[in-house]
Amino acid sequence: MACERFAEAHAARGASGAAVILPAPEGRAPPFFSYETPMSDLSAHALTPSWNLSNRAKQITSSAIRDLLKITERPEIISFAGGLPSPTTFPVEAIRAAAVRALADDAQALQYAPTEGYAPLREWIAARHSSNGRRIDPQDVLITTGSQQALDLLGKTLIDPGSKVLVETPTYLGALQSFSMFEPVYGSLACDADGVLPDALDAAAIKGTRLLYLQPNFQNPTGRSMPADRRRALAALADRLPFPIVEDDPYHDLYFDGAEQPTLLSMAPERVVYCGSFSKIFAPGLRVGYVIAPRSLSAKLAQAKQASDLHTPNLNQRIIHEAALDGLFDRHLPAVRAFYAGQRDAMLAALSRDMPEGVTWNQPAGGMFVWLALPAHIDTRALLADAIEENVAFVPGEPFFANDVQRNFMRLSYATVTPARIDEGVGRLAALIRRRIGS
């Protein structure tokens, strides 16, 4: 198991057993840059005011990658870096109509609302996740301001400084950013092409852990998915874990090949905390997500949310509910899947045509990302600077590793670039890599 940092973490516990916060290992705490949202204008110096900041805020670092990625918003750059969904998939007319309906009756959609969320939407979500005779209680559904907020609330309610948090290798940078605010120690679990290896959850990993964070579907950043037998093996283990498995599943509906996979939630509802989102299948700007958790935890999450933002925008929740009642999701999703499948095909075709020997990648069966492994001596951070010179961009793999950082990976998003530009961009990238390899 790739959990060497655990040993160090345990060694760093004082004689009293109290956690001693480790100095951030190289690459941790994760740098704060967002490739999932358009870049804001926060420059590095704006992040270091002269006032006394909390220790929490002080550990937030900006990143050289962030400054490079800011440049990638220039129109001449073919950017595979952004994690944004394609706006061509946003059902603008249906949202306009749903907004009119949501505002039709009275002014309630504009009033403060319960923290837990709009009851009819909670019911719709609970029904969608009820299966095989297992019923999800709408009371266990908490609407959040994007699923990103669910990660923050889970950090608030489950993590103390020094708590152990288990993650995949690599994992979603945004989750590391949310959890890191609460100063955990990460355990990076060994993974293969199918996701986390059940054997990695051995006694040493389990000890002292507060949560295990997983993305079974089309993982960000690797695009990999867990086959059904791996899910079953993890769900079978879940009962023995004295902490929840957090199943982060924003790409759930974006499957291209084969059928929808069962969620861990459906297999072990008492042991899994499920985070869902309307961002990738509807519109990320509405900022509506949700978390489904056993009541003992969902009540705590709701208290934490109340302190954060009182509630998720009421109008946006009602828009989504109106659209759901109208059957929009079932009508709209096949087109969204077909769009991203075409994008994936264009990316995979370009990679096989152009990439030199020594570069390998996976075949994502859904989602938005493909993960490239370059020869071990190539540092993709350095490569990014050269790539930008050639007007092409990607996200280096480094920030996605909680520990044991590996530098020869890159994440490519095929969500927003047209197939013709995918061809051109992959061609430029391949030429650069070929030069580095010397082939």
- The contact set with ligand PMP (CB under 6 A) reads 36, 83, 146-148, 172, 174, 215, 220, 248, 250, 277, 279, 284, 289
Distance of alpha carbon 66 from the chain centroid: 18
CA distance 73 to 123: 40
Tell me the residue length of the chain.
439
Minimum CB–partner distance for residue 428 and ligand PMP (Å): 25
Q: State the DSSP code for 17.
A: S
Q: What is the SS3 assignment for 238? A: helix
**215 or 263, CB closer to ligand PMP?**
215
Extract the tokens encoding 309. Answer: 């933002």
**144 or 298, CB closer to ligand PMP?**
144
Where do the H-state alpha helices sit in 274-313?
A: 295-309
Q: How many CA atoms lie within 13 A of 281 on its CB side?
A: 24
Beta strands in 81-234 (DSSP E): 141-144, 164-168, 185-189, 191-192, 195-196, 209-214
Side chain identity at residue 264, one-letter code: L
**215 or 225, CB closer to ligand PMP?**
215
Taking the CB of residue 386, how many other CB atoms lie within 10 A of it? Answer: 14
Name, in order, each residue with C-beta under 8 angstroms of 230's C-beta and a sequence gap of 6 or more. 194, 195, 196, 198
Minimum CB–partner distance for residue 146 and ligand PMP (Å): 3
Minimum CB–partner distance for residue 174 and ligand PMP (Å): 6
**248 or 354, CB closer to ligand PMP?**
248
Extract the tokens encoding 291. Answer: 């978390």
Minimum CB–partner distance for residue 284 and ligand PMP (Å): 5
Beta strands in 45-183 (DSSP E): 78-79, 141-144, 164-168
Minimum CB–partner distance for residue 152 and ligand PMP (Å): 10
Extract the tokens encoding 359. Answer: 């570069």
**89 or 148, CB closer to ligand PMP?**
148
Minimum CB–partner distance for residue 439 and ligand PMP (Å): 34
Kindly report whether the peptide bond that precedes residue 307 is cis, defined as omega within 30 degrees of 0. Answer: no
**173 or 378, CB closer to ligand PMP?**
173
**147 or 314, CB closer to ligand PMP?**
147
Minimum CB–partner distance for residue 149 and ligand PMP (Å): 7
**81 or 432, CB closer to ligand PMP?**
81
Minimum CB–partner distance for residue 239 and ligand PMP (Å): 25
Q: What is the CA radius of gyration of the chain?
A: 22
Judge whether 115 and 305 are in contact, CB under 8 Å: yes
Side chain identity at residue 283, one-letter code: A
Closest CA to 304 of 163, 66, 145, 105: 145
**275 or 328, CB closer to ligand PMP?**
275
Chain residue whose CB lies nearest ligand PMP = 146
Extract the tokens encoding 225. Answer: 């998915």
Minimum CB–partner distance for residue 268 and ligand PMP (Å): 20
Torsion angles phi and psi, residue 351, rounded to 5: -65, -45
